[in-house]
Structure 1
Amino acid sequence: MTTLTTITGSTPSRRRDAEAADDGGTEMLRQIGALCFRVHRGKLQILLITSRDTGRWVIPKGGLIAGLGPADSAAEEAWEEAGAVGSVQHLAIGSFAYAKRLRARPARPCLVEVFPLKVERMAERFPERGQRRRKWFSPAKAAAKVHEPELARMLADFLPPGAASRDAGRELGRDPGRSSGADA
């Protein structure tokens, strides 16, 4: 059985374990990310945000938050970075690697564990408002926007929890049989 937690967007920000442990070394950092999704007018959409430093399209992600588990930390990141509020699935759907660029230090390798979050509402006011752009994309377009190949595959192939068949994907306006480069 899948466990879901509804995040209200009211959890105070906490110091992140990964940031607290960041000693400037070359060991891989562990991060968590939220694959924020909704069904709008019968079509599956994925929320991407821009990174603060480079402006690239990414999913909300960050270090584990003290006192929260990985899925709830991912939901908190979605709230802080995108104003996305909803129900997070406690089973990760995959992971991807990237190089985290740090000010005045070498890039740090990161492994991001990704948790689906069904967005129930988008807040107008949230902690990083004004620092990022946010936009909804079809799975194929979202996959084309990100730079990390593993994340791109995850976005292109994503089906919401409970829609585990190809037929369910078609009902949401996606053709899971298409190549990941095709637009949905």
Structure 2
Amino acid sequence: MHRGKVEVLLITSRDTGRWVIPKGWPMLDKCPASTAQQEAWEEAGVKGDVAEDSVGTFGYDKVLKPGQSLPCRVAVYSLRVGELKRKYPEDKMRSRKWFKYSKAARLVAEPELRGLLMALPVLLDIEPAVA
């Protein structure tokens, strides 16, 4: 939330430069929410409080090498940003930018992620669902 509006911090992917959200592989020593929090730090330089429950999931094909991909299912967690650091593990590999949730939805390639981003005000219980 920024000035009463839902905002999303998108980052660029390392390979294609397209807009994405931080995501990563499960970590044996962390629950899914803590893993999301760790990935947000490593990929976007974000420190803050993560919600324990996901707001939803989306699927995409992770390209491992040319001609080889792996279907993945990503659980998405909201994180209230407390700090945005200038120096973080992947700061030289990625760009980051804040967007209004609806613009962020238009910028991502994955249709299910687009739908999740468009629904954020309702999912976060900020705006009532329209009947």
TM-score, structure 1 normalization: 0.66
Q: Does 1:157 align with 2:112?
A: no
Deviation of 1:102 (Å)? 1.3
Q: Deviations over 1:53-77 (max 9, x none)?
A: 0111000000012210100000000
Q: Which secondary structure state, in structure 2, belongs to the residue aligned with residue 112 of structure 1?
A: strand
Alpha carbons 2:6, 2:120 under 8 Å: kept: no
Which residue does 1:94 correspond to in 2?
Answer: 56
Deviation of 1:104 (Å)? 4.5
Which residue does 1:117 correspond to in 2?
Answer: 79
Q: Does 1:53 align with 2:1?
A: no
Q: 1:142 to 1:84 in 2, by over 3 A?
A: same
Q: Which secondary structure state, in structure 2, belongs to the residue aligned with residue 43 of structure 1?
A: coil
The structure 2 residue matched to 1:138, chosen from 100, 118, 121, is 100
Query: Percent identity, aligned pairs only?
Result: 45
Alpha carbons 2:55, 2:124 under 8 Å: kept: no
Q: Distance in 1 between matches of 2:57 and 2:14?
A: 21
Unaligned 5+ segments in structure 1 are: 1-38, 167-175, 178-184
RMSD: 1.8
Q: 1:110 to 1:161 in 2, by over 3 A?
A: closer
Within 5 A, what are the aligned runs for 1:16-95?
Answer: 39-95=1-57
Amino acid at match of 1:66: L
Deviation of 1:164 (Å)? 4.6
Deviation of 1:95 (Å)? 0.5
Q: How many corresponding residue pairs?
A: 130
Unaligned 5+ segments in structure 2 are: none
Deviation of 1:138 (Å)? 0.5
Amino acid at match of 1:70: P
Q: Distance in 2 between matches of 1:47 and 1:94?
A: 17
Q: 1:161 to 1:111 in 2, by over 3 A?
A: closer
Q: Distance in 2 between matches of 1:95 and 1:161?
A: 12
Q: Deviations over 1:114-171 (max 9, x none)?
A: 11111111011110001001000001100000011110010011028763542xxxxx
